[in-house]
Amino acid sequence: MFVDKAKISIRAGKGGNGAVAFHREKYVASGGPDGGDGGDGGNIVLVPDPSMSTLMDFRYKRKYTAQNGSDGSGKRCSGKRGEDLIIKVPVGTVVRDAQSGAIMADMSTGESFIAAKGGKGGWGNSHFATPTRQAPRFAKAGLPGIEREIILELKLLADVGLVGFPNVGKSTLLSVVSKARPKIANYHFTTLSPNLGVVYVSEGSSFVMADIPGIIEGASQGAGLGHDFLRHIDRCRLIVHVVDVSGIEGRDPVEDFDTINRELEEYSPELASRPMIVAANKCDVADDEQVSRLAQYAEKLGIPFYRISAATHEGVRELTLAIASKLSQLPPIVTYEPDFVETADNLDNSEPDIVEEDGCWYISGGWIDRLVENINFSDYESRMYFDRVLRDRGIFSRLEELGVQEGDTVDVCGAQFEYRH
């Protein structure tokens, strides 16, 4: 099965906690704090893999988590850094942030991309020693890693895209000019997924051609298969519009040509403005009048026109040379510039919630969750720091506005205290 779009959840590793420890050595009095730092959490890294051609691997596995960093320990020993989680994706995958839809990376350059950074490890208590605080009994907790949902969208890396109604001979043409072997049969929607082939022109000259299936009237709104696969033409530098001029299907070639162009326009005006070549296929069994009508119409629009028969190879070489010549004048394959803005961290800096239930005031959420992780409630200095932060950031004022009374119980993320002015 060809899967070209997937939504996955990723979570980088949490940083390890800093250690609270003191130097212990015979004959060394008051050795001082020597708690080590926690290790950084592992990153989520996307790596383009040329051997992959579909996002099938992400059809069933949707959640990916990197390793957490280890906690610090005594003797100023830092914790081990969490290992990065490597996720392989096909070359040409565009990575988007699921929430905003912004492009995070285009995996067509061959470079890896850190989709989620691991959290920083917390400082051990050795960092907090000062001349007036020589025995700090607190350390910093590690920060959480980035957690988000991303959308992987495969856009094939092809120089040329073959478009046209079903059963006009696109797959046959691809099989003739390249070593690709797509399924070919005389019924509509034989091709159910895009096919790629490398077309050799001459020594040092070649290009990649893609057969885009299933474009019919209404494709830009989801009809047929075209809605799913139109995105694969996005990168193509040149569009070859294959039109059946034989009349076997009972359709008018000029109407077919206009219909497909209209679908391209509705899907993406920029795509519709790409350079195009018209390939009138099945000329070996076509009426000359039909071929001439389409040729005159293409000439009127200023679009190069070629008569071919993919079945008999008539005109195929001339078309191939014309494609190569045109590509030599066009800029390289489109790459997408990221427009996603990464925030400074993955921390929730919102104001905590305060709820009163049965005479107890519960405070949780926002920045206060992280504060509690860094407090050693058995240490006087650490408790005073906690009290000072709550007062400075207006928690006490909010409690008083809500009606807290002297002696009421206040629960801060599970730690309970008796309220005192």
349: confidence class by pLDDT, cuts 50, 70, 90 = confident
At 283 the pLDDT is 93
Kindly state the percentage of the chain with pLDDT values over 70.
Answer: 91
At 214 the pLDDT is 63
pLDDT reading at 136 higher than 90: no
Is 131 within the bounds of a domain? yes
Pick from 202-206, 214-218, 294-298, 363-367: least confident: 214-218
Over range 413-417, report the average pLDDT.
86
One domain for residues 178 and 298: yes
**Which residues, in sequence order, are bridge partners of residue 207?**
199
One domain for residues 51 and 195: no
CATH at 244: 3.40.50.300
Q: What are phi and psi of 227, to 5 degrees?
A: -60, -40
| Greater model confidence, 183 or 39 | 39
320: confidence class by pLDDT, cuts 50, 70, 90 = very high
Q: Residue holding tokens 């839809």?
A: 101
Amino acid identity at 285: V
Characterize the bridge pairing of strands 205-211 and 195-202: antiparallel
One domain for residues 315 and 173: yes
Is 239 within the bounds of a domain? yes
Q: Supply the range of the domain harboring residue 114.
A: 1-154
Helix, coil or strand: residue 407: coil
pLDDT reading at 183 higher than 90: no
One domain for residues 140 and 254: no
For residue 19, give the H/E element and its range: none
| Greater model confidence, 25 or 96 | 96
| Contact predicate 316/324, CB 8 Å | no
Of 123, 154, 185, which marks where a domain is finished? Answer: 154
Q: How far apart are CA 302 and CA 318, in angstroms?
A: 19
pLDDT reading at 358 higher than 90: no
Is 123 within the bounds of a domain? yes
One domain for residues 178 and 234: yes
**Which residues, in sequence order, are bridge partners of residue 356?**
361
Kindly state the percentage of the chain with pLDDT values over 90.
Answer: 43
Is 341 within the bounds of a domain? no
Amino acid identity at 332: P
At 288, list the tokens. Answer: 């000359």
Q: How far apart are CA 350 and CA 329, in angstroms?
A: 54
At 185 the pLDDT is 53
Helix, coil or strand: residue 355: strand
One domain for residues 171 and 75: no
| Greater model confidence, 251 or 101 | 101
Q: How far apart are CA 122 and CA 20, in angstroms?
A: 11
Length, in residues, of the chain: 421
One domain for residues 108 and 28: yes
| Contact predicate 240/276, CB 8 Å | yes
At 1 the pLDDT is 40
Of 124, 154, 184, which marks where a domain is finished? Answer: 154
One domain for residues 18 and 72: yes
At 227, list the tokens. Answer: 């809605």
At 269, list the tokens. Answer: 């005006």
Helix, coil or strand: residue 398: helix
Closest CA to 18 of 142, 135, 128, 137: 142
CA angle 192, 195, 199 (to 5 degrees): 155
Burial of 419 (0-12, 13-18, 19+ CB in 10 A): middle
Is 337 within the bounds of a domain? no
Closest CA to 283 of 252, 323, 310, 249: 310
Is 408 within the bounds of a domain? yes
Q: What is Dmax (Cα atoms) for the chain? A: 107
* Mean pLDDT, the chain, integer: 86
One domain for residues 213 and 261: yes
One domain for residues 223 and 364: no
Sign of CA dihedral 215, 219, 220, 225: negative
DSSP string, 140-198: PPPPPPPEEEEEEEE----SEEEE-STTSSHHHHHHHHBS------SSTT---S-EEEE
| Contact predicate 31/23, CB 8 Å | yes
Of 134, 154, 174, which marks where a domain is finished? Answer: 154
pLDDT reading at 145 higher than 70: yes
At 187 the pLDDT is 47
Q: Which residues contact 404 (CB under 8 A, 6 or more apart)?
A: 361, 410, 419
Q: How many C-beta atoms surround the C-beta of residue 201 within 10 A?
A: 16
One domain for residues 268 and 413: no
Is 259 within the bounds of a domain? yes
| Greater model confidence, 3 or 112 | 112
| Contact predicate 39/62, CB 8 Å | no
DSSP state of 28: B
Is 336 within the bounds of a domain? no
**How many domains, in total, are found in the chain?**
3
CATH at 410: 3.30.300.350
One domain for residues 169 and 207: yes
CATH at 106: 2.70.210.12
